[in-house]
């Protein structure tokens, strides 16, 4: 079983992030919100790929599923209000 806190740590270590939140309580299914200036100019697919790259071979093994929401810092200003964070 894997911990959400460890996924958060790995994402933060692999990407410059302004905000990272990871939730999941069954040890294999997780949801993440990641805000990074590196996402500027990237497609959503490439943003998600960048997040998954921080987790390397854990994806598909220890981490069975990861729902990802990515935002640039500018997008996060509006999204944070909508999500109530």
How many structural domains compose the chain?
A: 1
pLDDT band of residue 82 (cuts 50, 70, 90) is: confident
**Residues 63, 27 contacting (CB under 8 angstroms):** no
Read off the CATH number of the domain in which 48 is found: 3.30.300.90
Alpha carbon distance 28, 26 (integer Å) = 6
pLDDT score at 73? 97
Average pLDDT over residues 38-66: 93
Full-prediction pTM beyond 0.95? no
Range of the domain at 65: 4-83
d(CA 22, CA 41): 24
Ramachandran assignment for 57, one of left (phi > 0), alpha (psi -120 to 50 degrees), beta (any other): alpha
SS3 content of the chain, % helix, strand, coil (to 5): 45, 25, 30
């Amino acid at each position: 079983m894997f911990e959400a806190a460890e996924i958060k740590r790995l994402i933060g270590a692999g990407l410059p992030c302004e905000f990272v939140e990871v939730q999941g309580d069954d040890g294999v299914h997780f949801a993440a919100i990641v805000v990074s200036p590196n996402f500027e100019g990237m497609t959503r697919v490439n943003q998600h790929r960048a997040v998954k790259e921080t987790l390397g071979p854990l994806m598909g093994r220890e981490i069975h599923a990861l729902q990802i929401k990515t935002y640039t810092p500018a997008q996060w200003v509006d999204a944070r209000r909508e999500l109530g964070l």
